[in-house]
Homo-oligomer: A and B are copies of this chain.
């Protein structure tokens, strides 16, 4: 069953590019190469279920590749550095949008509210955990973790707005230094 996973990633790109309301079934069908019959066979709940599954897959990817390593790392400092590598690759230096962030800004926020909240809350918590275990006090760790996630999201916005991936890269470089300091 290769279809499901591949389809989800293509679905994600459609939602990323056009948002929930702009992701029409016609566009989805074109992007995935699947007709309505197949789509509704895979996702009986229609567009809402597609979006839910896409968000769940993204959430799972971040949990596996970012949050869990941050929480489990024996050398937290290296895990934080690895997170920045992963973030830079995943968001393609700001050229790729954060779908969860886009949902948070849109009118569909309430529909997917818990998924959105959990994704970001766990990101901040996992990062704060790693920062604290690398020698910071609890309050400072949480504050810095929150600021890092804020800057990642903001850097995506600004680098896309200015069409300058360098903006994203600069922000990541500065954050790496902040996280590594002391």
Name A residues whose Cβ lies closer than 8 Å to a Cβ of B: 17-19, 21-22, 97-98, 100-102, 104-107, 109, 113, 116-117, 119-121, 143, 146-147, 149-158, 160-163, 167, 170-171, 174
Q: Which of A157, A162, A170 is the most central at the interface, judged by chain B CB atoms within 10 Å of its CB?
A: A157
Contacts of A143 in B (CB 8 A): 170, 174
Known contacts being A151-B151, A154-B154, is A161 close to B104, with CB within 8 Å? yes
- Complex Cα distance A109/B154, Å? 16
Contacts of A162 in B (CB 8 A): 117, 120-121
29 contacts between A and B (CB under 8 A): A17-B107, A19-B21, A22-B22, A97-B105, A98-B157, A101-B105, A101-B157, A102-B106, A104-B158, A105-B105, A105-B156, A105-B160, A109-B161, A117-B162, A117-B163, A120-B158, A120-B162, A143-B174, A146-B167, A147-B171, A147-B174, A150-B151, A150-B154, A150-B155, A150-B158, A150-B171, A152-B154, A153-B153, A154-B154
Interface of chain A: mostly helix, strand, loop or mixed = helix
Contacts of A106 in B (CB 8 A): 18-19, 22, 102
Contacts of A120 in B (CB 8 A): 158, 161-162
- Complex Cα distance A104/B25, Å? 24
| Inter-chain contact A155/B154, CB cutoff 8 Å | yes
- Complex Cα distance A141/B113, Å? 37
| Inter-chain contact A116/B150, CB cutoff 8 Å | no
- Complex Cα distance A109/B156, Å? 13
